[in-house]
Amino acid sequence: MITNRSGTFSADVELNLYVQGERYEISHLGFDFAILDQSQILDASEGDLETIINGKSSRWKVRFTSPITSESKRFTFKAL
């Protein structure tokens, strides 16, 4: 939530990763990394990241630059 002099603003945000037809929730998204909401083992080299902000969806293809394993929810990627 962001606050300024004229009031308080908030946005409804969803972050998702799609790999081989399955959807996984993302808890954090950075410039070249993301953190899954729950640990997963994903044996794939590419996927789609999706952001939904106040109902507006944006989606882009990414290549994973670090493995997605059960030991770490964090992974890195490059946009394609």
Residues in the chain where the model's pLDDT stays below 70: 1-7
The pLDDT score that the predictor gives to residue 2 is 47
The pLDDT score that the predictor gives to residue 10 is 85
The structural domains of the chain, with segments of one domain joined by +, span 11-79
Integer Cα distance of 50 and 23 in angstroms: 10
CA angle at 55 for the pair 49 and 59, rounded to the nearest 5°: 20
What one-letter code names the amino acid at 48?
D
The pLDDT score that the predictor gives to residue 7 is 64
How big, in percent rounded to 5, are the helix, strand and coil portions of the chain? 0, 65, 35
What one-letter code names the amino acid at 14?
E
The pLDDT score that the predictor gives to residue 6 is 60
